Structure 1
Amino acid sequence: MKRFIFISSILCLFFLGILFFSYIPFNNDRWLEADDPFQTHLDFLDDVFLPGEDIVLAFRLQDSFFNESIMTQFLTFKETVNNLDSVLSIMSPLDATVILDQDDSLIIEPYYDALIEGHFSTLTEYQQHFEASMYHHHLLSSDLKTVALVITIDNEGTILERNIRRRDVLSFVYNTIESFPMLSDYALTGNSYVDYYMNQLTRSNLYLLLPISIVLVLLFLGLIFRDFLKVMMIASSVFFSLLICLGVIYLVNGFLSIVMVVLPLLIVVIAVADSVHILTRWAQVKSHHDHAETAIQSTFGHIWKACLLTSITTAIGFGSFYFSDMLPLKRLGLASFFTIPLTYGVVMGLMYVWMMMFKDRLFSSKFYPSLKPSLPNFVVQKFDFIQRFHKVIVFSLFALCLLAIFGLQSVNFETNFLDVFFKKSSKIQQDTRLIDTVFKGSSQLSVIVQSSEPDYFKSIDVFNYVVKFSQKISEHPYVNSVQSYSDPVSMFHKELAFDSSFFPLTEDQLNQELLFLEFSRNDEKSDVLSDYIDFDYSNSHILIKTDNLSSRYINELIQYVHHIATTFFGANYFITGTSQLIDVLGTYVLNTHFVSLFFSMFIIWIIMIYFYGLSLATIGLFANASPIILILGLINWLGIPFDFATVLIGSICFGICVDDTIHFLHVYYTQSELKKPMEVRIKHALRNLTNPVTYTTILLCVGFGVFYLSDIVLLTKFGLFSILSFCIALVMDLFFLPALLIFFKHNSKVS
């Protein structure tokens, strides 16, 4: 009866966990802390000049946009979408603002209103006027066959509310397009769409990869143990650990991000690895005992400390991300720091309960008869070779590490946001390339010029500074266009036709033209100033449009803008926007990479010194730092730029790779009590640990290898290089670590 209640409780909690899992939202909006200066600048830009978030639709048409039937379908589609409550505004060639001289009076209105009111006598006149405007190449391609529709939606509310709003608008757009055959060929981009796409991709990858990982791991366990009870024991530890993991993520973060996806899969592998070590230790211990209970107690007495140390080191490896300036990594570190030790407690507790409840069944059963000691025997036989050539092995390892470190002196970071997360063949990449090709670019850099004086930007001298600054920035080869409040002023000035100039020449002219343009603020449809100037004329926004650039080009452009802006505006400006954010993330990634890696190495080294002494701890540290150094060096030598994936690889893989080393050093160190020679201790450790560390390495490769199936580039690279790290770490533990022990002739005794 107790067994039935116990198993039923596990199943009930498992299904409750699945239900809870389905309610956790996914979000990738925030990358910086709210009080980070760069995030503060972004928030200022959004609040003052660019409220809401954009979905950019680019329709590829069969004929010119100014074809009457195409324009009618486009208008109907636009008005249908505009009726949604969550849509704040829409911008298209029909909604762009035009200034016209009608009967000696100037009017300002949207292009389509001008057409309806008869201010354009024909579509041809509309076309000619639009092609001469500042909107051409921004909203309509040069061949007039690709038209942009920018939908701005509300971004207020909670994470869940924003995700629901994006989903509803995009679903409505997809369904509505089906009713307009002339608009069936389209591309999608914009910050709102990218965020939604990332959230959906995160969800689909976790829902796909997590079950695949669990199934593959359990199948491998079935091949090892060939015992349904043992597999069920480990499976229950995995499911309970996952439940704890999701609960901690929800409490710490409130949602799952594209970076946080790593943690649930890691917990699967950790729970399985600790369970395997317990069962392999049980197989070695039970033959020396007459009673099951004493054998179980002896098993946990031998294994608890080593598993605790591995949990602590892994928690440190992940927890070191808490010191990152990037919010997703910081939250990953915090959630990991609590989740991994809790996983250790769950595994130890559940495995003990299972073993006590089924002690007779386990005590009488054979331990995975399909596995033979051939691998441990092979490794032990190679020990003579290791002992003979230990100097060659150690010096070869030193040389490889030095070569890798030399390569790391010139690291390159990839800040092209789309390339970091999305494959080149993905639809979002293809759509972005289309926007870059036919319009003025998909990325933007914003310069905010500030003053404490109201009406500061009504000064003709300041206006001319903005014009000259824009012209100077436009000369840079990476810049497609520069927009500021001088553009609508120029548009108005040319309609006045006082002279051949493009801009007002006196302050009176400027103020008269600005006064007229201010009337547009009363009509949201024809507001041309709000994107570039605030209400009291103390802050100005200059928008720089570029293609989806890579890190090197973004940084080069930002340095150029800083140089020119300092010349014109002194210190009264700041740079922000998506490109600036990506450049900042590049700097933060490199800082996080080295800080987290060295922090985790130092703390783990201190812990190992406490338990195993200075010399053993230092040898173990080098044995585990070597795989990471080699992998990072290989990444750099292959010309693969550093990004979020390599940041994860460094600290995480070190925290995991050190686990098997700790098990090896633990067995080696405890054998010192028997005062056996060093060679005997090494052979004893190899004979007892070769199988379990090999199994855990395979499990790690299976668990992290599923990331290679992901369609997120970050996870694919992380999975691939993690597998390489684990394999190198296995070779290091079985061959290089014994060579290091012999080389330094370590013969410490337990004090």
Structure 2
Amino acid sequence: MTWMLDRPRLALAILLLLFLLPGPLLLQLNLDNAPEAYFPKDAPAVQFDREIRERFPQEQVLVALFEGEDLFEPAFLSRLHEALLGIEGEPLVERVLSVLTADHIRATPDGFAVEPLVDPYDLAARTPDQWRERTLSDRFAPGLLVSTDGQALALVVRPHPLENSLQRLELEQRVKTHLKETGLDERVTALAGHIALDVAQLRSMITDTMAFIPATMAIGLLLLWFMFRRWLVVVLAAATIATVVNVAVALLVVFGKPYTLISSILPPLLSAITIAMLMHLFNTVVHAAQRGYSGRERMRQALSMVARPMLFTGLTTAAGLISLATSPIRPIQTFGLVAAAGVVLVALLSVLVLPALIVHWDRGTWVQQRGSIRWLDRFTSFCARLSIRRAGWVVGITIVLMAIGIPQIRHVEVETDLYAFFSDRHPITQATERVESRLSGVMPLEVVFDAPEPEGLLAPERLAEIQRVQAWLDARPEVDYSLSLPDMVEQMHWAFHEEDPAYRTLPDTRQLIAQYLFVYDGNDLHDVVDRDYERARLLLNLNAHGSSALNQLMDDLREELTARPPGDMDWDLAGMGRLFADQERLLIEGQLRSLLAVTVLVLGLMFILWRSPAMAGLSMLPNLSPVLLIFIVMGVLGIWLDMATAMIAAVAVGIAVDDTIHVVHGYRARRRAGASPPWAIARTFRHAGRAVTATTVVLVAQFLILGLSAFQPTASFGVLTAFGLLGALVFDLIVLPAVLVLVWRSRAT
């Protein structure tokens, strides 16, 4: 570890190289928080959805809502048509749906005709009231394109397949531009849909990154200055943080991974961990200086005390983060691996590179400011006295509190609800509520039916089976709107028979159905059936957003279709509704895997470090405590286990183990020197306890900053992790020492 001390130029070259090399790569960073980036590529739901998109259009759309009394006036409809034509001309757009483009089936003397619901090229053919009446009497438009009172119209932009969030942002901006150019931007009362949601998340991600990186870095540097009053400390810490963050983010580019809302936690997390590690390094240098060492020998003494525990803290923290690689959620996997690489880099820089630079440029004194450590000494002295003198009470009270709290974990709900990720005051939340109150739910779900042969869906008995399933779904409170092939065939049959209500039924012959479909010359038919008439979609708009409610609906539907199969047709579920619902299972699997992995990895590393099964087991107490405390709080406060909070356990354990290693390492070193457990604890707290407490304060402050995020999962992640680390500090400085004292007393008797 001291080989680099005589090579400061090499150390500086390594630091500069690591700082500068990622620069060009960062320019290629792919900002993408689209839903597709989260799902495992080999998951059955993802594969089936990909198959469906080969035959049918996208179901992720952008919805612009207009409200007012004049929506059917020629002046408004003309401007709406102008905006629509401009949007349809955009290369990202596949189709724009509105009352001006939707098909309307009506009777004619010789059969039926398919024409625009509202003809933008012949608005004078009817009065505004007549256009409104025609639209509201249409079978398919109300609830989808127009409100039931005729006071709201929707412009639904359906894109070609989009590659990432930046394309969704570009699409939204282009739509806004066309609306502004036609003077309709002020008439838009809501802009919603999954594309708008993705854009809102992208903006939140960029805002959080720009705000939290400098904020967490500033807090850490201020505390280092407060503790050591050395500009050298601040400069080296800033350079190390920038280097580690740059390398970690560049790794995303190297491995072709997107920068998501999960990834946006990387910079503040690595900044916090870097400050914590450097706190231990600088604190040990001060300790060596207080013992009379100077220059190169002072750093040698400091490294002899801190290098081994720092390397192991790096390994254990990395192990905790690597456990996230067992999650089936791809951004969580990437987060764990990249964060682990960043932590290992911090540890190596701290024990190899920075010591050489400190020795080379050190021109001041290393005396810790008395004012800055007085409160630390008072706190650690209190913890030492409490854990030594009241060991039995400490352990007993801890057991009682855990016995009361652990049952609350059963109240933790696994839930993924993208629309609950923002506050009620957020524009995307308000826009979604507005659209759903005026039209229908924005969560799409598809029931896909496959006939056993081409043109199999021309059989009336198969259409009747689809219609039966649709009726069952329409009776569910989660379903606001549905559309199917039987609906369109039934409408054609009704129109062909001069709109006689008695014929609003399915035809009873295959030949008649084939004739209707052959005559149909509109644009909407192949949204619900492929051109071979072999595969059909039952389209649903749901008002349910959470994975629990979606899973309940889908489980009930599967049970219904299992008990009453739709004839000889195969069936399956697709769409964003199913993909998000499947996340609940994936999150549970990932959480269980990561908890098991982090426990096994950290326990194994503890055994290697201490060479004692008993000590390895005891040292796990403060490491697992954050997990229990966090889940207890989540159960009590009703905080969901979602994308971000699913990472807390591994992150909290990985960070908490650092302080445990420093405390136990100091305790065992003094025990080997012949000190009694009480004396070893007191002396360890005098040295390591300061750094442990100071690093926890830094980490807690930095994670609490994340609580200011407008994105609720990020805010919950920050606050809960901070709480877990405070709990780990209590276990490190009070509970673990009390257990050690009780074990020593029991052996002494």
Question: Could you say whether these structures have the same fold, taking a TM-score greater than 0.5 normalized by the shorter chain as the test?
Answer: yes
* Residue 106 to residue 731, structure 1, CA distance change in 2 (3 Å): same
DSSP-derived class of the 1:691 partner: helix
Per-residue CA distance 1:124-181 (angstroms, 9 max, x = gap): 443333212111221011222211111122225xx4xx44433333222223333444
* Residue 663 to residue 424, structure 1, CA distance change in 2 (3 Å): same
Whether the 8 Å contact between 1:484 and 1:532 is mirrored in structure 2 is yes
1:85 to 71, 74, 91: 91
Name the structure 2 match of 1:175.
Answer: 177
1:594 to 592, 595, 598: 592
Name the structure 2 match of 1:313.
Answer: 316
Residues 598-677 of structure 1 mapped to structure 2, 5 A cutoff? 598-612=596-610, 613-677=612-676
The aligned amino acid for 1:542 is L
The aligned amino acid for 2:539 is L
In structure 2, C-alpha distance between the alignment counterparts of 1:649 and 1:290, rounded to whole Å = 41
Name the structure 2 match of 1:68.
Answer: 74
Where in structure 1 are there 5+ consecutive unaligned residues?
521-525
Name the structure 2 match of 1:31.
Answer: 38
Taking structure 1 as the reference length, the TM-score comes to: 0.92
In structure 2, C-alpha distance between the alignment counterparts of 1:7 and 1:339, rounded to whole Å = 19
Per-residue CA distance 1:82-131 (angstroms, 9 max, x = gap): 2222221110000000223445253323234486399x555444333321
**Structure 1 residue 329: deviation in Å?**
0.9
**Structure 1 residue 557: deviation in Å?**
1.3
In structure 1, C-alpha distance between the alignment counterparts of 2:349 and 2:67, rounded to whole Å = 56
In structure 2, C-alpha distance between the alignment counterparts of 1:460 and 1:627, rounded to whole Å = 61
In structure 1, C-alpha distance between the alignment counterparts of 2:109 and 2:251, rounded to whole Å = 69
Name the structure 2 match of 1:218.
Answer: 221
Whether the 8 Å contact between 1:275 and 1:351 is mirrored in structure 2 is no
Identical-pair percentage: 21
Name the structure 1 match of 2:377.
Answer: 376
Per-residue CA distance 1:207-256 (angstroms, 9 max, x = gap): 11111111222122221221111111111111111121112222234321
* Residue 581 to residue 718, structure 1, CA distance change in 2 (3 Å): same
1:185 to 187, 211, 215: 187
The aligned amino acid for 1:42 is D
Per-residue CA distance 1:309-355 (angstroms, 9 max, x = gap): 11111112211111111111122122223222122223333312211
Per-residue CA distance 1:511-538 (angstroms, 9 max, x = gap): 2212223xx3xxxxx3222111112222
The aligned amino acid for 1:89 is R
* Residue 265 to residue 121, structure 1, CA distance change in 2 (3 Å): closer
Q: Is it true that 1:130 corresponds to 2:127 in the alignment?
A: no
Name the structure 2 match of 1:341.
Answer: 344
Q: Is it true that 1:109 corresponds to 2:89 in the alignment?
A: no
Greater Cα shift, 384-393 or 427-436: 384-393
Whether the 8 Å contact between 1:225 and 1:231 is mirrored in structure 2 is no
* Residue 375 to residue 496, structure 1, CA distance change in 2 (3 Å): same
Name the structure 2 match of 1:41.
Answer: 48
Name the structure 2 match of 1:523.
Answer: none
**Structure 1 residue 715: deviation in Å?**
0.7
The aligned amino acid for 2:78 is T
Whether the 8 Å contact between 1:74 and 1:183 is mirrored in structure 2 is no
**Structure 1 residue 13: deviation in Å?**
7.1
In structure 2, C-alpha distance between the alignment counterparts of 1:32 and 1:319, rounded to whole Å = 19
Name the structure 1 match of 2:234.
Answer: 231
Q: Is it true that 1:408 corresponds to 2:421 in the alignment?
A: no
The aligned amino acid for 2:536 is S
**Structure 1 residue 590: deviation in Å?**
2.1
**Structure 1 residue 189: deviation in Å?**
1.6
The aligned amino acid for 1:446 is E
In structure 2, C-alpha distance between the alignment counterparts of 1:9 and 1:603, rounded to whole Å = 30
Q: Is it true that 1:324 corresponds to 2:323 in the alignment?
A: no
Taking structure 2 as the reference length, the TM-score comes to: 0.92
The aligned amino acid for 2:323 is S
Name the structure 2 match of 1:55.
Answer: 62
**Structure 1 residue 463: deviation in Å?**
0.8
Name the structure 2 match of 1:694.
Answer: 693
In structure 1, C-alpha distance between the alignment counterparts of 2:130 and 2:493, rounded to whole Å = 20
Name the structure 1 match of 2:146.
Answer: 140
DSSP-derived class of the 2:142 partner: coil
DSSP-derived class of the 2:113 partner: strand
* Residue 744 to residue 252, structure 1, CA distance change in 2 (3 Å): farther
Q: Is it true that 1:573 corresponds to 2:571 in the alignment?
A: yes
In structure 1, C-alpha distance between the alignment counterparts of 2:609 and 2:20, rounded to whole Å = 41
DSSP-derived class of the 1:178 partner: helix
Name the structure 2 match of 1:201.
Answer: 204
Residues 429-508 of structure 1 mapped to structure 2, 5 A cutoff? 429-497=429-497, 500-502=502-504, 503-508=506-511
Whether the 8 Å contact between 2:621 and 2:736 is mirrored in structure 1 is no
In structure 2, C-alpha distance between the alignment counterparts of 1:533 and 1:702, rounded to whole Å = 56
In structure 2, C-alpha distance between the alignment counterparts of 1:677 and 1:165, rounded to whole Å = 65
Whether the 8 Å contact between 2:208 and 2:709 is mirrored in structure 1 is yes
In structure 2, C-alpha distance between the alignment counterparts of 1:603 and 1:6, rounded to whole Å = 31
In structure 1, C-alpha distance between the alignment counterparts of 2:325 and 2:456, rounded to whole Å = 43
* Residue 626 to residue 7, structure 1, CA distance change in 2 (3 Å): closer
Q: CA RMSD in A?
A: 2.6
DSSP-derived class of the 1:142 partner: coil
Per-residue CA distance 1:702-737 (angstroms, 9 max, x = gap): 221220121111111111111111112112211111
**Structure 1 residue 52: deviation in Å?**
7.4
DSSP-derived class of the 2:66 partner: strand
* Residue 513 to residue 540, structure 1, CA distance change in 2 (3 Å): same
2:277 to 274, 277, 287: 274
* Residue 291 to residue 631, structure 1, CA distance change in 2 (3 Å): closer
Where in structure 2 are there 5+ consecutive unaligned residues?
1-6
The aligned amino acid for 2:57 is L
In structure 2, C-alpha distance between the alignment counterparts of 1:18 and 1:418, rounded to whole Å = 35
DSSP-derived class of the 2:61 partner: strand
Greater Cα shift, 100-109 or 189-198: 100-109
The aligned amino acid for 2:491 is M
In structure 2, C-alpha distance between the alignment counterparts of 1:110 and 1:192, rounded to whole Å = 26
Whether the 8 Å contact between 1:624 and 1:657 is mirrored in structure 2 is yes
Name the structure 2 match of 1:528.
Answer: 524
In structure 2, C-alpha distance between the alignment counterparts of 1:164 and 1:639, rounded to whole Å = 34
**Structure 1 residue 544: deviation in Å?**
1.8
In structure 1, C-alpha distance between the alignment counterparts of 2:224 and 2:214, rounded to whole Å = 15
**Structure 1 residue 698: deviation in Å?**
1.3
* Residue 744 to residue 326, structure 1, CA distance change in 2 (3 Å): same
Greater Cα shift, 461-470 or 47-56: 47-56
1:564 to 541, 560, 572: 560
Residues 228-307 of structure 1 mapped to structure 2, 5 A cutoff? 228-288=231-291, 290-307=293-310
Greater Cα shift, 469-478 or 491-500: 491-500
The aligned amino acid for 2:434 is L
Whether the 8 Å contact between 1:286 and 1:292 is mirrored in structure 2 is no
1:555 to 545, 551, 555: 551
2:156 to 127, 142, 150: 150
In structure 1, C-alpha distance between the alignment counterparts of 2:401 and 2:217, rounded to whole Å = 36
* Residue 144 to residue 19, structure 1, CA distance change in 2 (3 Å): farther
DSSP-derived class of the 2:372 partner: coil
Greater Cα shift, 391-400 or 101-110: 101-110
DSSP-derived class of the 1:34 partner: coil
**Structure 1 residue 369: deviation in Å?**
4.8
Whether the 8 Å contact between 1:375 and 1:691 is mirrored in structure 2 is yes
* Residue 695 to residue 43, structure 1, CA distance change in 2 (3 Å): same
* Residue 549 to residue 193, structure 1, CA distance change in 2 (3 Å): closer
DSSP-derived class of the 1:448 partner: strand
